[in-house]
Structure 1
């Protein structure tokens, strides 16, 4: 048995699984798309959107899809991805890239437990980035 985080994107609200996956796998050194299945003609949902995909970033496997319907909910900061960055430089690089068109919940700083930052990316996914002191 294994738990795999599943990210549901909503194209109707401007959030795209394909765009998010591409950004994430390019941003992280170990990033890779394992597979993607797109909707075709006649499928429920918009043609070309992600029906199901799987990718790896920061040593973690994720699954994702583009929802064929618009939900009243989206991602929440209550659930976030914690990343132990190997260095402050890497933390800053990731934070800066993820913050583009996103939202900083806690700007990079030392909050009494070492270098830390919390950011929501432009797709709505929340990231907590820690680095060694």
Structure 2
């Protein structure tokens, strides 16, 4: 096996999701190919060394993201934690708002405005 890569499939929201994710610390776009209609056919970005693939589904489907699968981010500083939570949480929904839950200095679990679930952690 060569690699395991998270794959996020959107329904018309891949471009704004990519724009949001590229504001995160350590994020960079590796590749993007759009359809003639302007939807994201395939994109790959890197989030702090982890490659993530993103696409817009060409076919409508009855399912979306669920918090049971999430991307877990460890932050280096409180400022970075606050900035990441602010960016991902704007227009999204907190499942666990930023707080000290006893297992790290600060933790938050949220769904971003595109439905992707994130766990943001500031380890001890």
TM-score class normalised by the smaller sequence = over 0.9
1:62-88 deviation per Cα after TM superposition (whole angstroms, max 9, x unaligned): 111001122111010000010110012
1:42-80 deviation per Cα after TM superposition (whole angstroms, max 9, x unaligned): xxxxx1101111111122111110011221110100000
Residues 1:20 and 2:17 are matched in the alignment: yes
Query: Structure 2 regions of 5+ residues with no counterpart?
Result: none
Count how many residue pairs are aligned between Structure 1 and Structure 2: 122
**Which residue number in structure 2 is paired with residue 103 of structure 1?**
93
**Cα pair 1:87 1:132 within 8 Å, conserved:** no
Query: Normalised by the size of structure 2, how large is the TM-score?
Result: 0.93
**Cα pair 1:88 1:132 within 8 Å, conserved:** no
| Distance in 1 (alpha carbons) for counterparts of 2:38 and 2:123 | 41
Query: Normalised by the size of structure 1, how large is the TM-score?
Result: 0.87
Q: Which has the higher strand share?
A: 2
What SS does structure 1 have at the residue aligned with 2:73? Answer: strand
Residues 1:85 and 2:75 are matched in the alignment: yes
What SS does structure 1 have at the residue aligned with 2:55? Answer: strand
**Cα pair 1:85 1:91 within 8 Å, conserved:** yes
| Distance in 2 (alpha carbons) for counterparts of 1:99 and 1:23 | 11
Residues 1:69 and 2:59 are matched in the alignment: yes
Q: Kindly report structure 1 stretches of 4+ aligned residues shifted beyond 3 Å.
A: none
Select 2:28's aligned residue among 29, 32, 46.
32
